[in-house]
Amino acid sequence: MILIVAEHANGKLSKSTAEMVTAARGAGVEGPVTILVLGAGIAAIAAEASLLAEQVLVVDSAKLAQYSPETWAAAIAFVAAEGEAKLVLIGGSRSGREYSPRVAVKLNAPLLEDVIQLKQDGSATRAQRYTYLARVTETVEASAPLVVVSVKPGIFAVTPPAAEAAEQFDVEVELPELRVQVTGKTKSQSARIALAEADIIISGGRGVGSPEGFAALVEGLADKLGAAVGATRVVVDAGWRPYAEQVGQTGKTVQPKVYIAIGISGAVQHLSGMNKAKTIVAINRDADAPIFQVADYGIVGDMQQIVPEMIRLVSKPG
């Protein structure tokens, strides 16, 4: 079987799960596509998953109420071994990328990390992934009876839900005790769409001048377009914006339909997080800013004048 570990948040299946189903079906590996749902009180999520796969396995346990890489890896490795999985697909989210190596080690399997393409080729599993701060695309392969793969979000198409639900099976798994004690949690609170799920991202850099400038220009335009908000590291380090909005090497990697960069100069570390956007738009005072080298559209000029005008224009139907 091909085992997909469901990603979910706030009681809902994440888009990345339906993307992994597409990756699984296109991989050319035989066996039923199986979604594994881990958590506590996850019946609704399992029901959603059952419309995407041939079967759904559910480990619903109070011990999984709090995510931990150790418990997740233990549950996944157990199910993959019992089910004789040939391929285990894990989301390329921050959590997925920290528990997938544990799963690979437990199963004595190779790990293909953050892949953008996946195909069985004879006895080898071949994948493509970005390397060197996303400036290079490398093709890698592993030959093993079982391969663990983390799948970059936002790359594969979303598999639409089927009309009929697949069967669900409850699985009992022995889980390790938690050693890391979580003493506090700050959730990034935003009514906006998440960066990883957004078709449109409006992102701001130091050039917006101040937290107020960011709110007026970047959030202002985002709200009109139903877009997610991104930020550069400088802006996050200055405390203007929460870390959850950071795009780049140490933040999120995004691949939206359009990325509108306002007051962003375009350091390599930032570009590595967004240079795969289908369309890149840059608005910056400095004509020599590196962001213009990767831009499809742009304006060299004063964003304080340009962006409010754009906000006014997109507020009325074109």
Partner 1 sequence: MKILVYVRQVPDAEATIAIANGAVSLDGAKLVLDTMDEYGLEEALRFRDAGAPAEIVAVAVGLARNEEALRSALAMGADRAIHVESDAALDPIALSSVVAELARKEEATLIFCGGRQADWDSDALGAAVAERLGWPQLTWTNHLELGGDQLTGRHDVDDGNESFTVPLPAVVTTQQGLNDPRYATLPNIMKAKKKELRKESLATFGVQAAVKTVSAEMQTRARLHKILQGKDDPAGAAAQLVEMLRTEAKVIA
Q: Note whether 21 binds partner 1 by CB under 8 A.
A: no
Residue number, 94 or 123, with CB nearest to partner 1:
94
CA distance 147 to 23: 14
The span of 17-25, 41-49, 210-218, 233-241 binding partner 1 (CB under 8 A) equals: 233-241
The DSSP bridge pattern shows strands 228-231 and 200-204 to be parallel
The token pair at 131 is: 């390397």
CA distance 8 to 17: 8
Pick from 84, 212, 286, 302: which binds partner 1 (CB under 8 A)? 302
Question: 2 near 26, Cβ under 8 Å?
Answer: no
The span of 21-29, 45-53, 162-170, 243-251 binding partner 1 (CB under 8 A) equals: 243-251
Residue number, 54 or 199, with CB nearest to partner 1:
199
Contacting partner 1 within 133-192 (CB under 8 A): 133-142, 144, 179-188
Could you tell me the smallest distance in angstroms from the CB atom of residue 176 to partner 1? 9
Pick from 213, 239, 243: nearest CA to 230: 243
The span of 78-86, 164-172, 211-219, 244-252 binding partner 1 (CB under 8 A) equals: 244-252
The span of 21-29, 49-57, 205-213, 276-284 binding partner 1 (CB under 8 A) equals: 276-284
Could you tell me the smallest distance in angstroms from the CB atom of residue 167 to partner 1? 29
CA distance 39 to 6: 10
Pick from 164, 146, 170, 145: nearest CA to 36: 170
Could you tell me the smallest distance in angstroms from the CB atom of residue 132 to partner 1? 6
The token pair at 149 is: 């793969």
Contacting partner 1 within 34-73 (CB under 8 A): 67, 69-70, 73
Pick from 40, 41, 81, 131: which binds partner 1 (CB under 8 A)? 131
Rg (CA), the chain: 21
Pick from 63, 97, 119, 192: which binds partner 1 (CB under 8 A)? 97
Question: 238 near 207, Cβ under 8 Å?
Answer: no
Pick from 110, 117, 158, 193: which binds partner 1 (CB under 8 A)? 110
Q: How many residues bind partner 1 (CB under 8 A)?
A: 95
Residue number, 30 or 309, with CB nearest to partner 1:
309
The token pair at 198 is: 């957004």
Q: How many Cα atoms sit within 13 Å of 37 on the Cβ side? A: 29
Start-to-end Cα distance in the chain: 49
CA distance 77 to 75: 6
Residue entry with tokens 């375009």 = 266
The span of 32-40, 57-65, 82-90, 100-108 binding partner 1 (CB under 8 A) equals: 100-108
